Amino acid sequence: MSSVKHKILVLSGKGGVGKSTFTAHLARGLARDENTQVAVLDIDICGPSIPRVMGLEGEQVHQSGSGWSPVYVEDNLSVMSVGFLLSSPDDAVIWRGPKKNGLIKQFLRDVDWGDTDYLIVDTPPGTSDEHLSIVQYLSCTNVDGAVLVTTPQEISLMDVRKEINFCQKVNLPILGVVENMSGFVCPKCKNESHIFPPTTGGAEKMADDLKIPFLGKLPLDPRIGKCCDEGTSFFEEVPDSPATQSYLSIISKLRKYCQKDGQTESSMDCS
């Protein structure tokens, strides 16, 4: 991991809030600069969505002298996921914790990550084996921190608060909170609906209350889901959409944070 400059974990607490979608867009956004080497590690062992979202379904991992080779989307964007190790995409990975932890360790140790500027780690929902393991295995490296993704409704914020509690307990810096699926603009009449209503003030208020940076809101746009299903880049398909602008603004904030923080050591314990 010494050749990997920045490491960002994408966490949420609750599932289905758009972690993998955000991870994919963050990676694609950072990789728009062709001098930036970006890698994505998907540690959602039982539900790996990253291969599909990044248009890599059916790809396989290759073994080389320097370890497992990740799969490349572009010259400067590589991906590793358990999805590349399955014989069929419908195969369930029915594994208990220790086996999942073993694979995560292998992903970090045996994959030839090469010189990477940003490693984005997509995680499953919750605060269990995968989360403890990745934090533990990365604890002696310089982890920039975690981005927390949520939807506006209280039922999702509840789980994000748990995730914040987790980050504090394991000394993982929080880079900020992103609110996904914030509003839906009817394509016919342009009326905006809150499909997932922010009954308790949404993520911005929560971030404010808890003194955590709020990175921005991403609107619900069916074209995002469509691009994810098809594995295409939303930035290329719909470059002028409000969602693209929001993504780029969030990515720019994260890049600045990492570059500012790049030279300082992480506050994580190396135990």
Alpha-carbon distances, residue 32 vs 68, 75, 152 (angstroms)? 25, 11, 29
**Whose Cβ is closer to its own copies: residue 83's or residue 117's?**
83
Other C-beta atoms lying within 10 Å of the C-beta of residue 102 = 12
Residues that bind its own copies (CB under 8 A): 13-17, 20, 45-47, 49, 52-53, 89-98, 100, 124-129, 131-132, 151, 153-156, 158-159, 161-166, 169-170, 184, 186-189, 191, 193-197, 199-200, 220, 222, 225-226, 228-230
* Cα separation, 112 vs 83, whole angstroms: 17
Residue with tokens 């394991």: 170
Q: Is the sign of the CA dihedral 95, 96, 97, 102 positive or negative?
A: negative
**Whose Cβ is closer to its own copies: residue 6's or residue 131's?**
131
Shortest Å distance, C-beta 12 to its own copies: 8
**Whose Cβ is closer to its own copies: residue 202's or residue 216's?**
202
Packed helices 242-261 and 19-30: angle between N→C axes, nearest 10 degrees: 70
**Whose Cβ is closer to its own copies: residue 190's or residue 260's?**
190
**Whose Cβ is closer to its own copies: residue 75's or residue 269's?**
269
What would the two tokens of residue 254 be?
Answer: 């994260």
Shortest Å distance, C-beta 263 to its own copies: 31
Radius of gyration of the chain (CA): 18
